[in-house]
Each structure stands twice: as structure tokens, then as C-alpha cells.
Amino acid sequence: MMTCDLSRLTLMQMRELIDAGEVSREELVRAALSAVAEGDEVLGAFLEVDEEGALAAARAADNTGGQTGGVLDGIPYAAKANICSRRMTTNCASYMLADYRSPFDAKVVASTGSAGGILLGKTNMDEFAMGSSTENSAFHKTRNPWDLDRVPGGSSGGSAAAVAANYVPAALGSDTGGSIRQPASFCGVVGMKPTYGSVSRYGLIAFASSLDQIGPVTRTVHDCAAVLDALVMRDKRDSTSTSHPDSGRFSESVAASGEDLQGWRIGLPREYLGDGIDPRIREVVRGAADGFTGLGAEVRECSLPHTDYALPAYYIIASAEASSNLARFDGVRYGMRTEGESVLDLYLNSRGEGFGPEVKRRVMLGTFALSAGYYDAYYLKAARTRGMIVRELEQAFSDFDLLLTPTTPMPAFGIGERVEDPLAMYMADICTIPANMAGIPAISIPGGRVDGLPVGIQLMAPRFADERLLRAAAVYERVTGDRGANPSCPGDVPTEGVCDR
């Protein structure tokens, strides 16, 4: 099999070839490295690639025949640059941490390593995960493999682009308000935010601690389930970590799922199909609803009236938590240090030069919301609104097994199109934020095309119903056959290596 063909395989296809002895782990890693070398100078999905370490790990596994017994044994994958790893920098796409090398691996890196996964490199992101387009990276922009003039989404845009461009079959991202699902939608791949607390955040550099969750980006739902099997477990080093009733059984459950959803009840919240949603996106979602009906599910409209308040409440809560979490980067304890004539100057200079505009905007917003005289008016009110959203979703799940919505209100927008309009940028996450506010699992799977660009549909489930979510998504994917087909070359842009491998 040619190297270019190897890089296009799904994770489970790679697993079958390794098990059959038809391909070595080193061959798969070399194929991934070759794909990145050929195309990523244009695409910009990676910030760093560990060629030496990845090849060494692959050779060692080949020499021992693989000792993990895990589905990920020998599979190359990538991790977002806010997930700590000893062999590479963990810079959060920020000058503040430009040269930071963690002395330990994040729990998810250690877990995937124990399952045999081979970490190829660290992917680009919006600085400190604050953004929806991966244009806020301090180092370079990432482009969408479907159209290099468009964004891949954010903040896990590098991870989604790397999977969509066939560099790796899987990547890890973090999702605070949609940062896995939104870029998965824009790039035509699968992205999942698991139940909050089911995947350890130990070694994830925090943005908003009550919202952040690590999850997978893959090409298929089965691949997503296989990665989750390595990630979902309780970790005593994360105080929010919890045991999951289906831990280790996701891939098996997806493999055993049938081809219909008889008896399932799926809600279609009308607030997710109203003003602000591109009419073409609404058409895709209604088409998906018809698809689920054809699979035997009962699909009915429902109402989540507090949905409109999720976006403003989120940006107050997330910014407040960011203000607290990023206070440690002061030029003394952590991060870059720029000297001044006084300690205050040191703080101001270090943070002024180390943080980009979007991070500064959110830190100032959060500090204001927490300040004396404004706490009750802003933060406390946002926290109460969050409680109402949680209760509203819980009530909805007493009537429905799943909720079906758009993942994003529009297809991928142009690079630079929304940089000067923060509110328009924030609106890209309007459909994904409620799942983070409630801590429930949600997945984006390819749903169709708008003007040739992929768009995703989102499924949400109650807390700890991740397995239910994956089964429904797998059945839909299997029957519709839409796996977010590989992007074609976008016009006259010099894209050798991005699409034509």
C-alpha cells in the first residue's frame, strides 16, 4: 500500500492492518510524518512535530509486537497545544508560554500512551483556547482543508484540520464552549465533548475550569469511541473527575449497534432553528431529522426557552474563570518575564507582551464581572442563568433520549472576516455552549454540505449517556454514509500536499 493511501485510513482501518500484519506501526507513523511535511506549511495545523520520538515509539512497539493490547496500539495521533507532554512544548499558542516544556504528561497523554497511541505532534489553537477560528494563535493561522481561504474553527482548529487533511486519524482537543464540536463541523469530521468530569483535566492548562473538557476529533464515530475508551476513567489528581458507568465499553457498543433507532425519542429544539441560524443550516438539520425518522426514531419539536441567555451567561462565567486561572502568568511564577523598574511594571510588561488581544479582552471582562459592586449584577446572575439552563435540559431529557440541533449557525467563514467583530465571532458558538454549561455530552457529526463546505449536526444527551450518544451517531453515520468525505483542492491556491496525496 502506498504511503499516501496509509495516511487516508481511519483509525479502525489502521488497527485491522496492524493486527493482520499487513502494515507496521513505523510505516503508519512515516506516512503521517510525510503527509505533514508535504502539506502543513500551507495548512498550518501543527505547531510542533516530534518526528524522532514518534518513530522511536513506533519501532519499539514493532520490535515487541505491541504489548498494550489496546485499540490505539501503533496509531499516530495529535494533541492540542494546551495539553501537557514532556517531549514537546505546551505553549497554548501564546508568547506567554512560548518555550514552556512540561515536566509531566497530562493524564490523557499518559493514557493514550498506555493504550499504545503514538503522539506525533502538538496542534495549533486559539491562544489559551480563547477563540472560534484559530486566528488568535500567536504563531500562525490555521486554514480549513476544504477551502484555504476559510477558518477551520476554534479553538481546536489545528486538531480538526489535522484530521480532516488526513495527517492523523485522531487528535485530542479541549471544549469549553464548543471548541471541539465547532471546528469538527467546519472541517467535516467527528468531534465529541464527553460528560464533564469523565475525562481527566490533569495536565490541561485551564481556561475555565468548570467548563473545560478534553475530547477526541476523528473521522468516524467508531474511531471516536475507540479514543474515548482510552480517555474516560477516574483520576484522583483531578478533583472534578468522576467514574463513568460505561468506561471502556464505547467502541464495543458502537461496533454492536444496529441499523435502526426504533423506539428512540429525539427532540428538535425550535430555539436552535430560529433567527441567527443560516437557512441552509436549518435545511440540513431538518434533513437530518427526517433521516432519524427514517431510522425509526420519533422526532418531535420541543422548546428550550432559556437558550437565548446561554451565550451572554457563558461569556461572563468563562471570562471570570479565565481571569482567575490566568492570574498565575505574571512574569514571576509562570510565563514570560519582561523586566520593569518596579514589580508593578514587571507585571504590566510581562502580561502586556505575553498575552494577545483576545486573551486581554476576556481577562478584563472577567475581572470586571468579579469586581466589587458588579459581582451580583453580572457573575451571580450568570450563575443563576446557568442553573436554569441545566434544569431546562434535565426536563427535556425526561421526554427525549437525545436532542438534535445544528452544531454551528453558519458554515466556515473567511479568514479575517470576523476578527474585528468579537460579537460576531462569539456567535459561532451559540449552538454548542449550552452543553458545556450543563456538563452534558454532545457530539458533532457530518450532516451535509452548504456551498460545497461541510456542516455538522449536533446530538446532545443527558450526563453519563455518552454511550447512547455514540450509538445513535454511529447508526446515523452508517446508514447515511456521510463520513465527511476528504476535501478536494480549493482552486488556485498552491495546495500541493494538502489535498492531492
Instruction: Please state the rounded mean pLDDT for residues 162-190.
Output: 98
Range of the domain at 450: 3-305+392-480
* pLDDT per position as a tens digit, 247-257: 999 999 999 99
Structure confidence at residue 159 (pLDDT):
98
Active site residues: 80, 155, 179
Residue 371 lies in a domain: no
Alpha helices by DSSP H, 66-190 = 107-114, 157-164, 181-187
Instruction: Please state the rounded mean pLDDT for residues 114-128.
Output: 97
* pLDDT per position as a tens digit, 285-336: 999 999 999 999 999 999 999 999 999 999 999 999 999 999 999 999 888 9
Residue 397 lies in a domain: yes
Structure confidence at residue 480 (pLDDT):
81
Q: What is the pTM of this model?
A: 0.95
Structure confidence at residue 66 (pLDDT):
77
Structure confidence at residue 499 (pLDDT):
38
Instruction: Please state the rounded mean pLDDT for residues 198-202.
Output: 98
Residue 235 lies in a domain: yes
Residue 325 lies in a domain: no
User: Hey, is 216 helix, strand or coil?
Assistant: strand
Structure confidence at residue 486 (pLDDT):
58
For 272-333, list the strands marked E by DSSP.
298-302
Residue 377 lies in a domain: no
Q: How far apart are CA 127 and CA 23, in angstroms?
A: 38
pLDDT-derived band at 34 (thresholds 50, 70, 90) equals very high
Could you tell me if 29 and 55 are in contact, meaning their C-beta atoms sit under 8 angstroms apart? yes
Does the pLDDT at position 496 exceed 70? no
Could you tell me if 49 and 79 are in contact, meaning their C-beta atoms sit under 8 angstroms apart? no
Alpha helices by DSSP H, 355-417 = 357-370, 381-396
- CATH value at residue 253: 3.90.1300.10
Number of domain units in the chain: 1
Q: What is the mean pLDDT of the chain?
A: 94
Residue 137 lies in a domain: yes
Structure confidence at residue 494 (pLDDT):
36
Residue 130 lies in a domain: yes
Q: How far apart are CA 125 and CA 397, in angstroms?
A: 33
Is the N-terminal amide bond of 155 cis, ω within 30° of 0?
yes
Residue 197 lies in a domain: yes
- Distance from CA of residue 368 to its chain's centroid? 29
* pLDDT per position as a tens digit, 373-414: 899 999 999 999 999 999 999 999 999 999 999 999 999 999
Does the pLDDT at position 501 exceed 50? no
pLDDT-derived band at 70 (thresholds 50, 70, 90) equals confident
C-alpha closest to that of 184 among 154, 211, 210: 154
Which of 50-54, 274-278, 301-305, 469-473 has the lowest average pLDDT? 274-278
